[in-house]
Amino acid sequence: MNLSDLQNALDQLSTAMLADPLLSLCNAIAWLDPLITNPHLFSEDLNPYDGNFDHWTNIGVAWETARACFLDVYAETTLNIRSQQQTEIQIAEQVCIGINRHLIRADIYELDQIHYGLPFAGGGVEITSQEFFADPMNTPLMEVYGMFDVEVGHADLYSYPDHYDQAATSARVIAHSLRLTDQPAYDDLAGLLDWMFAQTGNASADYTDEEFYDMNAEPLRWEPYDIAYSNAMHAEAFDMIEQARRGLQFLMHQPALKQTLSRNIQKIATKVRKVKRYDLHDTHAHQLAKSLRWTHDPEPTDANRTPDDLESVSFWGADAA
């Protein structure tokens, strides 16, 4: 038997198998879904903290992750592995690109990241970073922090500026007040204050990468539900930061509004002076917010109330401060 006979035999066997519907299906599965019998072939018994992994291990884990979460990436990777026309580095790059198609605003940069859960992209203000405030997009923020008597952009990485917590409490009340005006531009300004003091409620908008890392937070897993959650969180954070930047632009072009904001900051700062940051209840914050007035609004939103009403507002925990 020569080589030609062997090829003929193989061809006949293949033809015979494809003539049978069940064997055709089995062949198609073997061709396109080789992980069907063991979807945890690579990640089984693998401890991500064991150390550096080679490209093939990364590809293997990403390949089975893709089967669970990104079927098109799984199919692409299967074909790329089968074609034997790419190096492992090229295949790893292709898998990265494929996975990033499914992630919103939180890319993976190297396939090695596949071992450590979903990527987190912190968009929070880097309050102590000189580089952050040196960026022309962020430089005007220093002026707004200054209104709150908060110095930012110092290189001491592990401490927050003096007065930060008190300023955050004031900012929260002022954001409430701005939202009460129902003016879109003031709503943007409220978004700016939320972002500046990490009070948006969205982790990606509130924390920087470093802060998130230092928290030792458990990363989200490579599972469909977690991926959907992470995408929604990062998309929302992006919108929040965009809104904050619109608010910053608006404020920088409104000298009268800057004066009003400064005046309102001082007014609120005296009222929340003894309140710990997280002790200010929403109800009280709203009550205080109603006492403020803005340039478009000649009368306070609670004009019927007397100042005495506001003076009598008590704050839980105020004495503890």
Partner 1 sequence: MLSTIDNLVSTLEAVPPLELAAVTLLHTLRPQTGEWFPSRLNPEEKAQVIQATVELVDYTRRCAEMGRLLAQLPPIPLCDVSLVEFSL
Q: Does 5 bind partner 1 (CB under 8 A)?
A: no
Q: Does 313 bind partner 1 (CB under 8 A)?
A: no
Q: Does 72 bind partner 1 (CB under 8 A)?
A: yes
> Which 52-71 residues touch partner 1, going by CB under 8 A?
67, 71
Give the shortest CB-10-to-partner 1 separation in angstroms.
6
Specify the residue, 84 or 216, whose C-beta has the smaller distance to partner 1. 84
| Residue in 216, 181, 166, 214 with CA at minimum distance from that of residue 321 | 166
d(CA 160, CA 11) in angstroms, rounded, equals 72
* Count of residues engaged in binding partner 1, rule: CB under 8 A: 28
> Which 230-269 residues touch partner 1, going by CB under 8 A?
none
Q: Which helix (H) or strand (E) holds 284?
A: helix 282-289
Q: Does 24 bind partner 1 (CB under 8 A)?
A: yes
Specify the residue, 83 or 304, whose C-beta has the smaller distance to partner 1. 83
Q: DSSP letter string over 224-276?
A: HHHHHHHHHHHHHHHHHHHHHHHHHHHHHT-HHHHHHHHHHHHHHHHHSTT--
Please identify, among the stretches 19-27, 42-50, 157-165, 249-257, the one whose residues bind partner 1 according to the rule CB under 8 A: 19-27
Which residue type sits at 71? Answer: L
Q: Does 38 bind partner 1 (CB under 8 A)?
A: no
For residue 149, the SS3 value is coil
88 with 59: CB under 8 angstroms? yes
Give the shortest CB-28-to-partner 1 separation in angstroms.
4
Torsional sign, CA 30, 1, 7, 17: negative
Q: Does 97 bind partner 1 (CB under 8 A)?
A: no
62 with 115: CB under 8 angstroms? no
Please identify, among the stretches 17-25, 113-121, 274-282, 288-296, the one whose residues bind partner 1 according to the rule CB under 8 A: 17-25
Give the shortest CB-41-to-partner 1 separation in angstroms.
15
Chosen residue from 33, 88, 107, 297 binding partner 1 by CB under 8 A: 33
d(CA 147, CA 236) in angstroms, rounded, equals 27
Chosen residue from 12, 16, 31, 214 binding partner 1 by CB under 8 A: 31
250 with 189: CB under 8 angstroms? yes
Give the shortest CB-26-to-partner 1 separation in angstroms.
10
Q: DSSP letter string over 193-211?
A: HHHHTT-SS-HHHH--HHH
> Which 179-218 residues touch partner 1, going by CB under 8 A?
none
Residues engaged in binding partner 1 (CB under 8 A):
6-7, 10-11, 14, 18, 21, 24-25, 27-33, 36, 67, 71-72, 74-76, 78-79, 82-84
